[in-house]
Chains A and B, each alone.
Chain A
């Protein structure tokens, strides 16, 4: 039995009068690879950003190993180190080299000494195939390479969960594969992953669960087989059909 790692309970989020998330209930267990799909504006990014606390929920609660992350005594900094985020636009630190991008968090947040941090960063950059570029600045590498470094930066914190927000959407088609490969390897390694994606092949083959969101609610939460072969909701069917006919 794997352990419940993240649990979202009655989460609501509004921007002004615009309610973006409604009564979201959702649990992730260790080793889960969950794809979150849904049309544009359905609230997928907002859900991930609430989990990482880049957005503060309007109401509801999020638990990490059973602890409410909004409790006053909860260390957000330590939590964020454990729950990393990979962005659509990479957001590599532009003033730092590839290596430093993967070192700075370890040194400042985890208080590792510089040598240990650099060694760990190198190991991980090796894994994502970027160890040759440690001296390059973000502006000097391609989109696919940037995203692999961004993944390495998150991994360097030794996280328990990684959140991916459309990690391949800003990439040229020929670079999508290299990033999905890295993510596939991570999924096999047992890392818990929440992936907002429009890559249906990835969702079907790599994830063990798919969450379909529409207009701020979770419409369906099922295994890939159930979701693709036998979706329960009409809304899910309509969404998947639109995808197939594209």
Chain B
């Protein structure tokens, strides 16, 4: 049996290495799925919430969008105003009790993280949309584009670029917060660690390893996102086509 701290760490790393990796994999899977689905939910909610309601719109349309706004506000407030650990319990056990749904913990986990992230993303996306100059929206409208076309082709691409840091932030938060899903026995990193530690009653050593793994995950993700952000900022130069005398010539233009 190992005696010192380092021996224990090595022991667990060796014996439970695959176990930890599986946990980390599950954590990453839930976090990525939840972030991407949450982003999709958030974008849809934000776009629908920004559909303008005009005084002279037909009544059914007005009622429809007013009701939708209410539902979305309720959704956002409820999911941002309660802890995800409690949401997990309510949704997992509630769905079985009320509707006899037999969700696997993993299915429940994917659902919970997505819907929870969606509520945050909806607010992030709304912020991104309203931060875009009103002139962009009006210009698109002035050539006849519909609200959806304007959002899809003009506003969202610009908003997404602006909210990319916040999206990355949500991803990192999700990597960490999936740990609460251990309460519904999802075999993510925290759950795996707990069972490994429990077998030998060595909590400090195991969770030291867990801590390092979480950090490596979040740190790598942060770096990758920074890189993507830089890429998305795009090139600062462009090519000028055809001079007066040599039509096929190209001139490099720079940013002003």
Chain A residues with a Cβ under 8 A of chain B: 52, 54, 56, 70, 72, 76-81, 84-85, 87, 89, 91-97, 104-105, 108-109, 131-137, 139-142, 150, 153-154, 157
Q: Which residue of the partner chain, among B58, B144, B158, B240, contacts A157 with CB atoms under 8 Å?
A: B144
Given A132-B241, A133-B253, A136-B238, residue A105 in contact with residue B135 (CB < 8 A): no
Given A95-B154, A139-B256, A140-B255, residue A79 in contact with residue B241 (CB < 8 A): no
- Assembly CA distance A54 to B137 (angstroms): 10
**Chain B, Cβ-Cβ closest to A163:** B142
B140:A140 contact, CB within 8 angstroms: no
CB-defined contacts of B240 to chain A, threshold 8 Å: 132-133, 135-136
Nearest-Cβ distance from residue A140 to partner chain B, whole angstroms: 5
Nearest-Cβ distance from residue B122 to partner chain A, whole angstroms: 22
A56:B255 contact, CB within 8 angstroms: no
Q: Is the interface of B mostly helix, strand, loop or mixed?
A: mixed
B142:A94 contact, CB within 8 angstroms: no
Interface size on B, as a range, is: 20 to 34
CB-defined contacts of A79 to chain B, threshold 8 Å: 144
**Chain A, Cβ-Cβ closest to B256:** A140
- Assembly CA distance A76 to B144 (angstroms): 7
B245 within 8 A of A: no
**Which 3 interchain pairs have the tightest Cβ spacing?**
A91-B139, A91-B135, A80-B144
CB-defined contacts of A137 to chain B, threshold 8 Å: 234, 238
**Chain B, Cβ-Cβ closest to A88:** B135
Of the stretches B39-47, B83-91, B145-153, B172-180, the one at the interface is: B145-153
Docked complex: B91-147 residues within 8 A CB-CB of A: 133, 135-136, 138-146
B138:A87 contact, CB within 8 angstroms: yes
B139:A157 contact, CB within 8 angstroms: no
